Amino acid sequence: MISNAIIRRLPRYRRYLGQLQRQGVQKISSNELSALIGFTASQIRQDFNTFDNFGQQGYGYSVDYLYSEINKILGLDREYKTVLVGVGNMGQAITNYNYYYKVGFNIIGLFDSNPKLIGNTINDVVIKDVSELEDFVKENGIDVGIICVGRNNAQEVADMLVNAGVSGIWNFAPIDLEVPDTVALESVHLSDSLHTLAFKIKTNEESKK
Amino acid sequence: MISNAIIRRLPRYRRYLGQLQRQGVQKISSNELSALIGFTASQIRQDFNTFDNFGQQGYGYSVDYLYSEINKILGLDREYKTVLVGVGNMGQAITNYNYYYKVGFNIIGLFDSNPKLIGNTINDVVIKDVSELEDFVKENGIDVGIICVGRNNAQEVADMLVNAGVSGIWNFAPIDLEVPDTVALESVHLSDSLHTLAFKIKTNEESKK
DNA sequence: GGTGTAATGTGTAGGTATTAACAGGATATT
DNA sequence: AATATCCTGTTAATACCTACACATTACACC
């Protein structure tokens, strides 16, 4: 069982390795990576070795190899059929973000309950009525549902997605959803993040005194 | 010095206490809170006692009092003058989100470099050219800058904000910004979150076998 | 007003996570 | 081919975080 602390670091490793790859860097040592990312070299080596021995003594790590291995570990070596529910401001932003930074989560269905939105298209995907959600998910073997509806409807939408058989939910509503533990859940709590910022500002100001 | 683990839990306490308050609940015990939030009762008591003794033995915690104390701890008992840079999809979504869930971060300036956007208004705030950013921040005593520009311009914008004297930055660009440690930084890495989801899905599927 | 009960505050133990230290293997250089 | 250097993999130590357990205090009820 991989610890949560490591899981949270993996995407960051991936991010930097992707950058290095784009820059054409071939090899990197844990020390160099440390200077770049900010984790200690020791931690970096520990993290990698929880999975496998990716490096070579006296040489370092091959950027290409490490990058592709981390992609495999993260499960980014495949496509995820995805739907998004709630095409408001946030939903549209996520749709376009996802379209722009293409990373294997293909949004092939958009759903909303607002009649004004239904029928419109974003990036060639038609917005359907949310009543069609469950059938669509079942028929198309959807893997992931993105929830961008408000606080009050989020659990309901999550239940639909779970019933229809998705394996993961990416949630932007500001509540903690209840899903069976066979379904992966990852929530982005924007307000929590903002409040953390407020706390940091306050702490900084106090330490100035 | 408050540990990072606690800081990350504080907004969550706040979220649940706000909910309880809206429901008219007056008092709550650490056990009841535990059942609700999912942290152990012991941890909840420990967390609160790092700050002060908020509870009363034999009674529990007053929801109203605890909520207001946590708000103070988080620095949410004041207003933050805020600007947002990069009024693309994400920027607009955040602007409206913020407007909707009002929490003391008042966006009074919007900035972009796209001539098509400059001059438009969102929630009565005019979008200005990014060249006016620094002066605006200085003249209006802006506390917080929200960065919603792309990867390539984010650091540049951050530098401007820092130069102009903000005390905090909320960053949505997918890079780790460099700011002096007098400036609070909180980043929302959407792709990191999505990759974490991918990992969880993969792990779930493997455990099924 | 006395007594039982509920629930906090806190000292301590146990468990995780991070950092440090070093042994050993691979590379490069002469 | 021998040797010095580099850098990993891994063990050991430290620091941090979480959970347990219980003494203590306030409340409520008779």
The residue whose CA lies nearest the C1' of nucleotide C24 is: A57
What token pair was written down for B35?
A: 């059942």
Q: For residues A177 and A167, what is the distance between their CA atoms, to the nearest angstrom?
A: 15
- Residue A104 near chain B (CB below 8 Å): yes
pLDDT at residue B26, rounded to an integer: 92
- Architecture field, domain A4-73: Orthogonal Bundle (1.10)
In sequence order, which residues have a C-beta less than 8 Å from that of residue B9 and are 6 or more positions away?
A: B39, B47
Q: Measured between alpha carbons, how far is residue A19 from residues A22, B53, B154, B175 in Å?
A: 5, 48, 15, 10
C-beta atoms of B14 and A195 within 8 A: yes
Q: Is the pLDDT of residue A105 over 90?
A: yes
Fold classification of B80-192 (topology level): Rossmann fold (3.40.50)
Residue A102 has pLDDT above 80, yes or no: no
Confidence check: pLDDT of A175 > 80: yes
**Both tokens of residue A105?**
């989560």
Q: How far is the CA of A32 from the C1' of C11 (A)?
A: 43
Residue range(s) occupied by CATH 1.10.10.10 in chain A: 4-73
Please give the single-letter amino acid code of residue A68.
Answer: S
Q: Express each pLDDT in B135-169 by its tens digit.
A: 999 999 999 999 999 999 999 999 999 999 999 99
Q: What is the pLDDT of residues B88-128, one digit of tens each?
A: 999 999 999 988 777 799 999 999 999 999 999 999 999 99
Q: Say whether A93 and B92 touch across the interface (CB within 8 A).
A: yes
Contact A11 B144 (CB under 8 A): no
Give the whole-angstrom CA distance, residue B98 versus residue B49.
Answer: 31
In chain A, which segments carry CATH 3.40.50.720? 80-192
Q: Is B44 helix (H, G, I), strand (E, B) or coil?
A: helix
Q: Closest residue of B to A186, CA-based?
A: B197
CB < 8 Å & 24+ apart, contacts of B1-7:
B2/A203, B2/B50, B6/B47, B6/B50, B7/A196, B7/A199, B7/A200
